Structure 1
Amino acid sequence: MKGKDTEPGVLRPVAQLREALASGGGRAELERLYGPGETPAARQRFLALLERHASEFPGDRRAALFSVPGRTEIGGNHTDHNSGRVLAAAVDLDIIACACPGEEPVARIDSEGYEPQVVELDRLEARESERFQPAALVRGLASRLSELGWRIGGFQACLSSRVLKGSGLSSSAAYEVAIGTILNQLYNGGRIPAVELAKACRYAENQYYGKPCGLMDQTTCAVGGFVSIDFADIANPRVEKVELDFAATGMSLVIVDTGGHHADLTGDYAAIEREMKETARALGAQTLRGASRERLLAEAARLREKVGDRAILRSLHFFDDDRRAAAQAAALRRGEVAEFLRLVGESGASSWMLLQNCYPPEATRDQGIPLALAMSRELLGGQGACRVHGGGFAGTIQAFVPEGLLPAYLTKMRELFGADSCHPLRVRQAGATAVAIP
């Protein structure tokens, strides 16, 4: 469905938005998204974005501002692809956008640091030439929303991202949700439900971009806060937001980048899903969610010959981490932070010992993730928790650090992995949103 149905309150002349921000407007909105300490920097980011938009798309235009958070996986390491449960959280590193409706059915997107994208929206079929290109995500998302009966239309947008690439914070999902949020607000009055928008983003990535993916990343970026997701019905996962002011717990969430992104880890990632599903089939199920831990242990001798030892260990991790992800969400709902952290630590140990995704099998010299985990345990001294973050094998770990230990922790980890390796994050309650500047 094409055509305009713009929510009147969202759009304002670009010059008015700049004047309002420059004179101190929008303080409450910026504090809601970034916290009081980051409000001045956020204001400058949006002012710079508006300047860029005025330069790239000159004229007397009415535009809107948007923000979409990145996400961090909290619980359920490699459980989603076997219909398991996960816990994730939106973070304050985000993509911001300034967008205005277009008179033609063309999306013109200027993303800072990337080549501009021009995507014609009057023909929405998938194009082989666009596979693995950002244009495929835009076209696929517009196609899916139109199929579902939502309005689409052209727009001009400038984007700026602080979601770190290669950090496990889901920069691609945040981009997809940003484009979807622009279409939602400019043409549908913000009425598309967050989970439906996330599903449309997944469709675009799977069917147009050509990359298999689950729904955790897009859902968390769209919904915000802590999000518990159950993939028992993979087509319609159950999504629940977990209400908690994590800043009040006295813990800091830190992502540490240990390096090692140069290696091609696709085969290592694929082997985890393959081995888990081979084990599930040997137990008479399609995924491990349809099998049982008890039967895995009872039939371990037979399974050694059928699927091998590593597949058994990885499957045991699935059963335990699937349970832990649900228990972590329950602990947060009850405000039991100590229990939550205990479960995070258990998950980290399971990924290291059973899932075996802390370094590639051939890596005998460079083992950044195990080193970061070992040093984190030493520095934390039984407090907080740490775990591998995301897909693993290289890249990032996640640490929950008591505020009193944070300076010493950051100093040591930066000494080991570089000045730009540590990223203290804030759990952000707001998901994808228009940014209202009075």
Structure 2
Amino acid sequence: MISEGMLDTLFANQFRRESSCLVVSPGRTELCGNHTDHNRGKVLAAAIDLAKTAAVAPRDDMRVEIITEGLPERVDLIIDDDKPREEEKGTSSALVRGVIAALRRKGFKAAGFSAFVRSGVALGSGLSSSASFEVLIAKIISRLFNNDTIDPLTMALAGQEAENRFFGKPCGLMDQIACSYGGIVSVDLEYPEKPIIESVDFSFYDHGYTLAVIHTGGSHADLTGDYAAVPQEMEAVARFFGKTACRQLSRNQLFEELSSLRKAVGDRAILRALHFFNENARVTEATEALKKGNMQEYLSIIRASAKSSRDLLQNIYSPSKPEEQNISMALALAEELLGNDGACRVHGGGFAGTIQAYVPNERFSFFRERMEHYQGKGSVTPILISSTGEC
């Protein structure tokens, strides 16, 4: 964790007054359940030891000012209403306004504050920088104005609403839940307002494997359409049957109406829905494998998840840029190095960004050296599970 004295000094240098406390929000890693949360599916995720840490202090007005070290964008807004603003879409200001609006609607108090943020969760890292930021704002509001009484689920829901309605990016609830709850969590989102959340006590390192993410290069810029198409196409399949989400369907229904369905929604939508059903079942299997302490069974499930994301979900590269296949290349390299011992998969939303790998502890140094030879120095980041929503 960043020392309190260091952040206090940085805060004082920027705002010419003292901070009152530190607030921490971890990043997250998706373990299983690739693109299932937005269709009321199941997910397995975890908070990690890379976090956003903020020195904060309340203001005596409704102004919010946030400086994030290393980023040119400075948040500076007046939280005088709770409506989305078109000119803020796609910005951090939209996330701040959205989180605060959602919390105020739930009856929580909010006012202005100043914050200096240092982040170990890099933008575009696949470790959910946006959800970590959203939960950070919710934690600041809880700490400064509500005596730490805002529960993790309320924080997560506020973050999701901010991203969907205010920022303008469709997303599920997995990232926010993982960041707000901490540890490994198995989440059933069949009823999103009342998800079933189960904590799972497990250490990959203690079972012989280092969990790592590999930055593949490329940018998430201009990929919003690719991300949005995944839930939209799954939902198109659901609408064919008079439903709103794939969770309300069964696999058998797809095959019973396959001919008519292909004409109505197209092949890719059906393949993505099939991924949803299979991946949903894998989350349950992966959770049980961890609870039993069976690492090899878990790795087998992860390999199946990786294959499904590549073949059915098709989020390994953007179809608009087939010449740019950074994820595909990184997966191929990792598979060459791992052989039959370990696993790798696309991480998070996909199309660009990161992959995830489970590497035998004794081979991690070699794996890291070779991957960074191809992908660039610093591209491999080992991660540990954060046991709580703090770090």
- 1:187 partner letter: F
Between the aligned partners of 1:278 and 1:83, the Cα distance in structure 2 is 14
Match of 1:93 among 50, 68, 76: 50
Percent of residue pairs bearing the same amino acid type: 44
1:81 aligns to 2:25 (yes or no): no
Are residue 385 (structure 1) and residue 360 (structure 2) matched? no
Letter in 2 for 1:102: R
CA distance in structure 2 between the partners assigned to 1:338 and 1:285 by the alignment: 37
The correspondence for 1:183, drawn from 128, 141, 151, is: 141
What is the CA-CA distance between 1:209 and the residue it aligns to? 2.6
Q: Out of 2, 23, 27, which is 1:70 matched to?
A: 27
Q: Structure 1 residues 57 and 408, CA, compared in 2 at 3 Å: closer, same or farther? A: same
When normalised by structure 1's length, the TM-score is 0.83
TM-score (norm 2): 0.93
Superposed, 1:206-355 pairs within 5 Å as 206-261=164-219, 264-355=222-313
1-structure distance, mates of 2:273, 2:304: 16
In structure 1, stretches of 5+ residues that fail to align are 1-29, 31-41, 434-438
Gaps of 5+ in 2: none
Shift of 1:49: 1.7
CA positional deviation for 1:363: 4.5
Residue 171 of structure 1 aligns with which residue?
Answer: 129
Q: 2 CA distance for matches of 1:62 and 1:321?
A: 45
Distance 1:128 1:218 in 2: 23
Q: Distance in 2 between matches of 1:331 and 1:310?
A: 31
Structure 1: how far apart are the matches of 2:322 and 2:109? 54
| Aligned residue in 2 for 1:10 | none
Q: Deviations over 1:211-257 (max 9, x none)?
A: 33221111111111112221211333222222223332221111111
Is the contact made by 1:178 and 1:432 (CA closer than 8 Å) also made in structure 2? no
**What is the CA-CA distance between 1:173 and the residue it aligns to?**
1.2
| Partner Cα distance (2:147, 2:324) in 1 | 51
- Residue of structure 1 equivalent to 2:112: 154
**Superposed displacement of residue 306, structure 1:** 3.2
- In the alignment, the residues of structure 1 paired with residue 355 and residue 259 of structure 2 have an alpha-carbon distance, to the nearest angstrom, of 34
For the residue of structure 2 that corresponds to 1:54, the secondary structure is: helix
Q: For 1:136-186, what per-residue CA distance to the aligned partner results, in whole angstroms no more than 9, with x for missing partners?
A: 222222222222121222222111111011121111111111111111111
Q: Distance in 2 between the 1:292 and 1:50 partners?
A: 54
1:85-136 CA distance string (max 9 Å, x none): 1111111111011112222232222221233322223444443333333222
Amino acid of the residue matched to residue 349 of structure 1? K
Distance in 1 (CA, whole Å) between partners of 2:244 and 2:112 is 42
Q: How many residues align?
A: 390
Which protein has the larger Cα radius of gyration, Structure 1 or Structure 2? 1
Q: Identify if the C-alpha distance between structure 1 residues 294 and 159 changes in structure 2 by more than 3 Å, giving closer, same or farther.
A: same
Distance 2:390 2:335 in 1: 35
Whole-Å separation in 1 of the counterparts to 2:365 and 2:218: 25
Paired residues of 2:40 and 2:192 also in contact (CA < 8 A): yes
Aligned CA distance change for structure 1 residues 145 and 432 (closer, same or farther; 3 Å): farther
From the superposition, tell whether residues 378 and 286 of structure 1 become closer, same or farther in structure 2 (CA, over 3 Å).
same
Q: Which amino acid aligns with 1:326?
A: T
